[in-house]
Amino acid sequence: MSLISYASSALKALSVPADGTEVRADDFSKFHGGEPGAKTEIIFSRSKTELFLEVICHEPAEIRAKSSANDWSIFDEGGDRLEIFFGTLTVDPWLIQCAIGAGGGHADNNGLTDEWNASVEIGENFWKAKAVFPISMFKTNNFYTYFNICRYSEARNEYVTWTDLDTKFHEVENYGMLLFDDYSRVYFAETGIMPEKEFTRREFETEMDKLRIPAHSIQHGPWITNATLTGMTVSFGSAGNCGAFLEYRLAGTETWNRIPFDRRDGILIRNHQIHVQHLSGLQPGTVYEYRIVTLHPVTLRENTGAIHTFKTLEPARDNFTFTAFSDLHSNIVRIRKMLQLAPLKESDFLINIGDHLSCACGLDSYYKGFLDLESEWCQKTGKPLCFVRGNHEQIGTFAGLYQDLLPHPSGKSFFSFRQGETLFIALDAGNDKPDDESGLFCNQEMFREEMAWLKELVQTEEYRSARWRIALIHMPADSARYDALAAADLLKMIPETELILAGHRHYYFYIDPNSDICVRKRDGKEIPGATKLPALTVANDTDTMLCVNVSPEQIDVKVIDENGEPVDTRTVKKGS
């Protein structure tokens, strides 16, 4: 179990029970470090609906009580004051800044002055502020929120703060935890682990600190996709939101090129967990080194990741191999097993022909379901991945994350790339059911765009000069069903294609060129009804892998199972 942390200082926490018990703390420090010139004490208590706060500000120098208005004149007119912050950076970020002046005025930055109240008492060598906040003002998560209290003494020109801050009072990343339950139960709510005994404050802080991982740590990836002669996409997932840079160079050289993962309107974007950079203008057939540099959210200190490599595709590569699988549906045991098969060691790249998962139920469904394991393969081999979208990548509330995690530079889910004289055409056959009236699925609109793109593609030199054309599509044109006919409409637009690689049906079969018969090799069944196409169709099973060898004379497709045992071999010869 781990907890994402944006902090640059040790965790502090206070538990405030609902029985009215007073909870005290006086462990303040000067802003930017050092012992304060005077003591500050805080006392929390609460009911079921209200939080009570008392702050005692000991002052050996002059107490300067100025503004009594309930507005920001507390700052404009100067004087001694308190700033009380509540907020959080995770789940649903929010921040309330409340101010209480020694003159009696109070204000906040959210226009909630009428919802909470404050009073001030001035005594000999101290002033005291009392405030009452409705707990409904706060966004709580697992029975807690975050807070900090800062004090300013004008006579001594001293700022003190309860939690250690790096640069500013609005540094919610370093605020302490304000618990509305006891330490042990909050620990259980956060971790799923119930302590054997009741935690003290220090025990809670220590144990929670052990579980925290930095938000800017590289948690997923990197993975490389969209390989072309002159381009590559490098992506990774950070534990939390952070800014990041990609550094790359020609292998064997010393100077790194640095580019931001996301910069807009004059700033580096630091509120992303998914980071994608499309590299272009690279040299064909060339090995590059790259590494990720992330920034700490508060200190902006750099965290430099390991050095990895990739190689751009080659314009004159006529003999090469690649591998493909499909329909793994987050079966990580099978994915792990297949990634260890011998043919992958010789493969120039790995293609996932759709249905990587069953339902997009959040980021974890992508990372834990397939991407973490396939990223490891990228890092070990320096070989790129290619993803073709399947119908299951359209299912689930978080289906839109597919294009966030695995985007093509074109912004589309259909694309082409070329290795040597072979052109690969990756198609998106959409959902396996027609669009509905709700507008949830809009595949017909996408098909119109895709067909317009194909119409242009077949006119290009890239297409016309190719010796081989291989179509990658999740759903094959194997029947008169809706999903197969949608695929057929797309495939008919590229009639010069010699090989179609697909999946979807969860059994291995092939369709010979210009045949309407699906041959199921494993059980010997022959099923009529396929759309006749001039290309050989090979459809992958859930437990098979396609190992493809391309040469100027022929393409050999060896089908093996998850144990590496042969299932079938299909061959396409030039001119056959």
d(CA 82, CA 160): 10
Maximum Cα interatomic distance, the chain, rounded to a whole number of Å: 102
Domain boundary among 159, 182, 213: 213
Give Cβ neighbours of residue 210 (< 8 Å, ≥ 6 apart): none
Beta bridge partners of 123: 126
| H or E segment and range at residue 364 | helix 363-366
How many other C-beta atoms can be found within 10 angstroms of the C-beta atom of residue 303?
16
Of 349, 285, 361, 292, give the one whose Cα is nearest residue 317.
Answer: 285
DSSP one-letter code for 162: S
d(CA 536, CA 515): 9
Give yes or no: residues 507 and 525 share one domain. Answer: yes
Structural contact between residues 222 and 375, judged by C-beta atoms closer than 8 angstroms? yes
Residues in the chain, total: 576
Give yes or no: residues 441 and 480 share one domain. Answer: yes
Of 5, 7, 8, 12, give the one whose Cα is nearest residue 205.
Answer: 12
- Report residue 217 as tokens: 């740590």
Structural contact between residues 59 and 126, judged by C-beta atoms closer than 8 angstroms? yes
Give yes or no: residues 498 and 391 share one domain. Answer: yes
Q: Is 27 left (phi over 0), alpha (psi -120 to 50) or beta?
A: beta
d(CA 306, CA 277): 17
Structural contact between residues 565 and 552, judged by C-beta atoms closer than 8 angstroms? no
- Report residue 132 as tokens: 């009452």
Give Cβ neighbours of residue 109 (< 8 Å, ≥ 6 apart): 95, 96, 97
| Residue pointed to by tokens 């965790």 | 11
Mean pLDDT by 10 residues, the chain (576 residues): 86 94 96 93 96 97 94 93 94 92 96 95 97 95 93 97 94 95 94 93 96 96 98 98 98 97 92 97 98 95 97 94 97 96 94 95 95 97 97 93 96 97 97 82 90 98 97 96 92 97 97 96 92 97 98 97 97 85
Sign of CA pseudo-dihedral 136, 140, 143, 147: negative
Sign of CA pseudo-dihedral 310, 314, 320, 326: positive
| Pairing outcome for strands 415-419 and 385-387 | unpaired
Backbone angles phi, psi at 365, to 5 degrees: -65, -30
Structural contact between residues 175 and 81, judged by C-beta atoms closer than 8 angstroms? no
Give per-residue pLDDT as tens, 14-34: 999 988 899 999 999 999 888
Structural contact between residues 496 and 459, judged by C-beta atoms closer than 8 angstroms? no
Overall domain count for the chain: 3
- Report residue 485 as tokens: 């006919």
Give yes or no: residues 375 and 472 share one domain. Answer: yes
Domain boundary among 187, 213, 239: 213
Residue 451, helix vs strand vs coil: helix
Q: How many helices (H) and strands (E) does the chain have?
A: 11, 39
Query: The CATH number of the domain where 396 resides is what?
Result: 3.60.21.10
Give yes or no: residues 107 and 229 share one domain. Answer: no
| Pairing outcome for strands 13-15 and 29-30 | unpaired
**pLDDT score recorded for residue 182:** 94
Domain boundary among 196, 213, 230: 213
**pLDDT score recorded for residue 1:** 60
d(CA 541, CA 351): 14
Give yes or no: residues 474 and 530 share one domain. Answer: yes
Give per-residue pLDDT as tens, 190-228: 999 999 999 999 999 999 999 999 999 999 999 999 999
Give Cβ neighbours of residue 255 (< 8 Å, ≥ 6 apart): 249
Give yes or no: residues 166 and 224 share one domain. Answer: no
Give yes or no: residues 476 and 566 share one domain. Answer: yes
- Report residue 301 as tokens: 């200190």
| Residue pointed to by tokens 């590569």 | 317
| H or E segment and range at residue 120 | strand 117-123
| Residue pointed to by tokens 């050095």 | 307
Of 251, 293, 426, 430, give the one whose Cα is nearest residue 349.
Answer: 426
Please report, as a single letter, which amino acid is at residue 195. Answer: P
Of 17, 51, 16, 20, give the one whose Cα is nearest residue 135.
Answer: 51
Give yes or no: residues 307 and 322 share one domain. Answer: no
Give yes or no: residues 199 and 237 share one domain. Answer: no
Give yes or no: residues 204 and 223 share one domain. Answer: no
Q: Give the CB-side neighbour count of residue 203, counting CA atoms within 13 A.
A: 11
Give yes or no: residues 232 and 263 share one domain. Answer: yes
Query: Range of 261's domain?
Result: 218-312
Query: The CATH number of the domain where 123 resides is what?
Result: 2.60.40.1190
Please report, as a single letter, which amino acid is at residue 185. Answer: R
d(CA 347, CA 548): 9
**pLDDT score recorded for residue 2:** 72
| H or E segment and range at residue 415 | strand 415-419
Query: The CATH number of the domain where 254 resides is what?
Result: 2.60.40.10
